[in-house]
Amino acid sequence: MIDSSLKEIAAALRAKTVSAVELATESLARIEAGNATINAFITVDRDGALAAARAADARLAAGNAGPLTGIPMAHKDVFCTEGVLTTCGSKMLSNFVSPYDAHVVTLLKAAGAVMVGKTNMDEFAMGSSNENSHFGPVRNPWNTDCVPGGSSGGSAAAVAARMVPIATGTDTGGSIRQPAALCGITGIKPTYGTVSRYGMIAYASSLDQGGAFARTAEDCALMLSAMTGHDPRDSTSLERDAEDYTRDLAQPLAGLRIGLPTEFFAEGMSDDVRAAVEAALAEYRKLGAVTVDVSLPNARLAIPAYYVIAPAEASSNLSRFDGVRYGHRAAEYGDLNDMYCKSRAQGFGAEVKRRILMGTYVLSHGYYDAYYIKAQKLRRLIAQDFAAAFEQCDVIAGPTSPTVAFGIGEKSNDPVQMYLSDIYTIAVNLAGLPGLAHPAGFGAGGLPVGLQLIGNYFGEARLLGVAHQFQQSTDWHARKPAV
């Protein structure tokens, strides 16, 4: 039953042909059978899941159910969950049990979704391959010698392997869209400020945004509808009412203007990805859309700008992990300063240390103006480029990743090559725009290729509608890995 769409599962639950307890049990069995291979989950909450499923069955019996009631799901382990381990993929938080729920967790609980566990991730969401986790790398269900993408690779792999129908993720520079593309599923990052960051452990506060993974755009729309709305506890949460993101699913694509940035189709994209992307664009034209050339002249500067701004914010955000109040503390130390140094040295992995050092450097006296201020100026220019492009088109399309999933360990010793994996996604975060990735075919080695769609501010419903129309005429989203 978990292989079905969220809409089909919800219909079966209402018709009582399956119960929420049966669904949760099936999901837990799939995790038990496959997690040793995929390593998608850090924590499985069997007792909590079955209790939530029983409560969902009671709601269904009372006729008080919504689209997500009784649906098994997983949370990326960056979201705090009351009474459940919340590690952020780090040794630093390997013993941290959160005393409260993140706002996203609260909303999805209220919608009746059944959390079965917490998914693996790059440590503190820093990575593009999910190899930086203290709990070991996640493996791509399409080829377990390959990465699933990151940092939300555990969530993407769990949905792709049909362990759960839906999962949450976070996207700071592409960490929902890139793993969705590499795992052959659909993922959406909404406009910055649409989903509350309360209880979402921070990496780079001005870039982080929660979002959704599912097999289809329609499923993502149903999930996102339950996740959004103003939260006064998050100062960056926008004062907007919750929306129905399914409202544009039936809207035809006739006359839709799809912008193709010249910079996205230059050098750097592999031939197999290019072929799949061009075939997907041809399908959109068959559905009535027209393509227009646009330019994002500062997009090439997105990676250097991001790798100044994000590490600077990480340096500040991660200063709280000092071994004093919670998290890892060194077993032996001399004085307070020695405890700080040893606890952080032991608790953080290599990539996190690298980004903290970069961030501290660019914020230091004499370099703040030379690097950080200039990066923020570039950020504004990138946002202005998108604004100009949207005067010529309704949505922007292009590749999500320059290649299909690469081998585990292939880029581990070359951080710059690893960072270039996000070359098409980072600019979207810098501008605060919504972005979506959906399956668009297969490339080398039979590995999935994802098409990225970028919308104007608060254009999530239109993006989801566009992707849904594509998925009504193709079956890439229905393909599943042998694992």
Nearest to 115 by CA among 195, 173, 28: 28
Q: How many CB atoms lie within 10 A of CB 183?
A: 33
Q: How many CB atoms lie within 10 A of CB 376?
A: 15
Q: How far apart are CA 381 and CA 399, in angstroms?
A: 22
- Extract the tokens encoding 48: 């909590």
Angle at 433 between CA 206 and CA 257, to 5 degrees: 170
Q: Is 98 part of the annotated catalytic residue set?
A: no
Q: Strand 166-170 vs strand 72-76: parallel, antiparallel, or unpaired?
A: parallel
Q: Is 91 part of the annotated catalytic residue set?
A: no
Q: Sign of the C-alpha dihedral, residues 101, 96, 27, 73?
A: positive
Q: How far apart are CA 11 and CA 18, in angstroms?
A: 10
Q: Sign of the C-alpha dihedral, residues 410, 427, 398, 140?
A: positive
One of 133, 175, 196, 401 is an active-site residue; which one? 175
151 prior amide bond cis, ω within 30? yes
Q: Is 175 part of the annotated catalytic residue set?
A: yes
User: E strands within 343-420?
Assistant: 395-399
One of 133, 151, 315, 401 is an active-site residue; which one? 151
One of 76, 91, 189, 342 is an active-site residue; which one? 76
Residue 39, classed as helix, strand or coil, is coil
| Residue 153, CA distances (Å) to 42, 45, 177 in order | 12, 19, 10
Q: Which residues are marked as active site?
A: 76, 151, 175
